[in-house]
Amino acid sequence: MSATHVQNSRRSPSPSATVSSSTTIISSASSTSTSQHCERSISILEKELEFRLAAIQREPKEETVAGEDNEDPASDTQKTHNEVHFEVNWDGYDDPENPQNWALWIRACILVGVSFQTAIVVIDSTSFLSGGPGLMKDFGITSTILALGMTVFMIGLAFGPLVLAPMSELYGRRPVYILALGLAFILVLPISFANNYGTILAVRFIVAFMGSVTLANAPGTLGDIFSEDYRALAFSCYFLAPMNGTVLGPIIGGIIYQSLGWRWINWVEFILLGVSFLIALATPETYAPTLLKRKAERLRKEMSDERYRSRFCPNKDHPPIKTGSKMFWKLIGSNVKRPIVMGVTEPVLIFWEVYVAILYAILYLSFVGYPIIFGELRGWSPAFTGLAFGGMCVGTCGAIALEPVSRRVYNMHKVDPDTGKRPPEARIACICVTAIISPISMLWFAWTCYPTTIHWVWPILAGVPYGLSNSMIFLHSSAYLVDSYGRCAASALAGNTVARSILGGVLPLFGGQMYKRLGPNWAGTLVGLMAVLIIPIPWSFYKWGKKIRLRSPMLRQMEEEASLDAEKMAEKEASKRQQADINVNTLSGDKPRSGAKVEEV
């Protein structure tokens, strides 16, 4: 039998050297009997390896006297290594616990669920005006007071995300969805039984406040479960809900009002919100920091080691906060303040809030203008006036059909070498084109909607490019903010929602007077020129977006953290590949070839 040659070092071997000294390779030899002896030698060496590894693990660690300063660089390096070792993160890019690696059918169900929830809330914002004639008759109110019903709802949608979006980043998405949608579901009942218009206004504000959880957190939820490559497709499908919800509201509301009366609009909303609440109960948690905190807690219990922590876990410097304590309310206040502070201090958010808010206000102005143009001037019934929004529906669906084109345009951009991903500005390429289409479609509608001698099909057809361009703008601007702000995307989108909802709720109050004093043609021209004035915003961000982002301390810090996470993930992937190679070599050494002899590496 061939003897195993072991070369001893003059110095005491380190643990790594001890392990490597027992590693063997198989080389060719000549006899079958030698192979049998080699198998015994390998078995002996494997047992020796296990023994030495166990000895290393049992080796006592040096204790440090409390209060003693230790300035040894080696100990600092070891401390850093231990902190990294016990820091809980995803186990590589293919970690099944990462929501982005969940089964496709689970992520598709979550996408459909949050889209349905958002659509129901948005439908409620616009379907209300379809019952306007009945409300004006029952409560003796004017058209301006009637428009307050939509205004208070929009204000509720504006301020709800200030509380609900940061709460989702503090406690996770799921509990906030359940609490908010449950309350919205219950509070629709007082509207259905209301005997005065003041009750309707007050309760609609609260329902909108709670229902805004869908607008504030749904984009963040999609960012949790879809990677950058498929995020645009997910957002395209999702935006069918808020965009088509706004135009489906008058259609559905008009049909229900004409058949059953204005109270049944609220009863249908009550049923649909109940379904949304059940969907929230069935939806799992998707927020990565919350899941990593749960994973760290599980590892601490399984390994009986309190050192396992994610960077989102409380520690000695940041102890856990009890619900209801003074520190709890202080934290809630800071989280509520965050979207407002971000909205007025972040250069990226300031410009996109202005841009999206103006377009959103023009969209909601159409819910006042369409009933005037098609209902009062053309004499259409409430149901047919609602169907006039069909052109916008077609345009919105067209935006979804063009998603493969949008993705190809996105993939044409080069990867940023600093982050290993395409820059967020790649999302703006499509907005630059649709930012020009949007005002053109507005001017088209303005000069074909009146006089009534012009066929009704032309203003409705103008809604197709208008719906397409608005959908593309809202879709890719949200994706841009999600890509830019990462885990703070919910707060970033909350600030954006506040701005657009306030302007979208206030402008319709003056819409009726504007259309009557200026006339449909010049009123439409005015809003079209407003859209022309803001065209430079997306073009400027497409060209200088990275420079603008680098002016933000928050975004600079988040990019550094993203780069660090990418490095850690790459190290884990390399470690997994190395371990796989070792396992393959071990398995191939279990059955050596004939005449193999053992040599030390």
Q: Is residue 72 part of a domain?
A: no
Q: What is the pLDDT of residue 537?
A: 93
Q: How many residues does the chain have?
A: 601
Residue appearing with tokens 């949007």: 438
Q: Is residue 488 part of a domain?
A: yes
What would the pLDDT profile of 88-99 be if each residue is shown by its tens digit?
666 766 777 888
How many domains are there within the chain? 3
Judgement on whether residues 457 and 511 belong to the same structural domain of the protein: yes
Residue 305 pLDDT class (50, 70, 90 cuts): low
Judgement on whether residues 196 and 294 belong to the same structural domain of the protein: yes
Judgement on whether residues 378 and 514 belong to the same structural domain of the protein: yes
Q: Which region among 243-252, 317-326, 397-406, 569-578 has the lowest average model confidence (pLDDT)?
A: 317-326
> Per-residue pLDDT for 43 more than 80?
no
Measure the CA–CA gap between 516 and 523, rounded to whole angstroms. Answer: 9
Q: Pick 67 or 38 by higher pLDDT.
A: 38
Contact 260, 57 (CB under 8 A): no
Q: Is residue 442 part of a domain?
A: yes
Q: Is residue 403 part of a domain?
A: yes
- The percent of residues above 70 in pLDDT, for the chain, comes to 73
Residue appearing with tokens 């876990």: 313
Cα–Cα–Cα angle for 338, 179, 321, rounded to 5 degrees? 55
Determine the average pLDDT of the residues in 144-155: 86
**Mean pLDDT across the chain:** 77
Judgement on whether residues 289 and 398 belong to the same structural domain of the protein: yes
Q: Is residue 75 part of a domain?
A: no
Measure the CA–CA gap between 341 and 396, rounded to whole angstroms. Answer: 33
Measure the CA–CA gap between 528 and 421, rounded to whole angstroms. Answer: 36
Which phi and psi (to 5°) does residue 275 adopt? -65, -40
Q: What is the pLDDT of residue 25?
A: 37
Q: What is the pLDDT of residue 315?
A: 53
- The percent of residues above 90 in pLDDT, for the chain, comes to 20
Measure the CA–CA gap between 146 and 142, rounded to whole angstroms. Answer: 6
Q: Which residues are 309's β-sheet partners?
A: 87
Judgement on whether residues 580 and 439 belong to the same structural domain of the protein: no
> Per-residue pLDDT for 275 more than 90?
yes
Over the range 465-496, which residues count as b (16 or more CB within 10 Å of their CB) and which as e? bbbbbbbbbbbbbbbbbbbbbbbbbbbbbbbb
> Per-residue pLDDT for 13 more than 50?
no
> Per-residue pLDDT for 330 more than 80?
no
Q: Is residue 64 part of a domain?
A: no
Cα–Cα–Cα angle for 254, 257, 262, rounded to 5 degrees? 125
Q: What is the pLDDT of residue 456?
A: 92
Judgement on whether residues 132 and 229 belong to the same structural domain of the protein: yes
Q: Is residue 601 part of a domain?
A: no
Integer angstrom CA distances of residue 489 from 195, 216, 383: 41, 9, 39
pTM of the model: 0.66
Judgement on whether residues 398 and 529 belong to the same structural domain of the protein: yes
> Per-residue pLDDT for 54 more than 60?
no
Q: What is the pLDDT of residue 360?
A: 87
Judgement on whether residues 544 and 583 belong to the same structural domain of the protein: no
Residues 6+ apart with CB under 8 A from 285: 172, 173, 174, 291, 294
Domain that holds residue 580: 554-589
User: In the structure encoding, which two tokens stand for residue 140, read together?
Assistant: 């003796």
Cα–Cα–Cα angle for 114, 116, 121, rounded to 5 degrees? 95
> Per-residue pLDDT for 42 more than 70?
no
Judgement on whether residues 361 and 425 belong to the same structural domain of the protein: yes
Helices (H), ranges, 128-142: 132-139
Q: Is residue 118 part of a domain?
A: yes
Residue 171 pLDDT class (50, 70, 90 cuts): confident
Residue appearing with tokens 């204000």: 155
